[in-house]
Amino acid sequence: MRKVHKNPKGGLTAAGRAHYNAKGSNLKPGVKSYGSASRSDKSRWVNWATRFYSNPRGPMVKDGKPTRLALMARAWGQPVPKTREQAQAIAAKARARSQALKNSRPK
């Protein structure tokens, strides 16, 4: 992925998503506001947070700067974690929200 496709604040630019989607994917932007999101977007947020931050695959800070893994949190409306514990707290919030989504399903 070229630099023009990466948002310096975290995540991908619209051009980056278009580049990725040209290969047959359906990549969407991060869900910034969980409270006003649709049910499917809330589910996407929960899946993202659990997948990336339950057991982070890399450091949150390198050479005093946040890594792309940490910056991704900003693209999804979360504070940028500086430690592994802060990243795992985002995942814990996601697990709680997942339970709330399951409990609010229409029957």
Mean pLDDT by 10 residues, the chain (107 residues): 88 93 94 93 96 95 96 94 97 96 81
Among 59, 55, 104, 52, residue whose Cα is nearest residue 78: 52
- Per-residue pLDDT at 105: 76
CA distances from 37 to 41, 54, 59, 87 (A): 6, 22, 29, 22
Question: What 8-state DSSP symbol labels residue 12?
Answer: B
What pTM was computed for the model? Answer: 0.86
Domain coordinates in residue numbering, the chain: 30-103
- Per-residue pLDDT at 107: 63
Q: How remote is the C-alpha of 62 from its chain's centroid?
A: 19
- The CA distance from 55 to 107, in Å, is 33
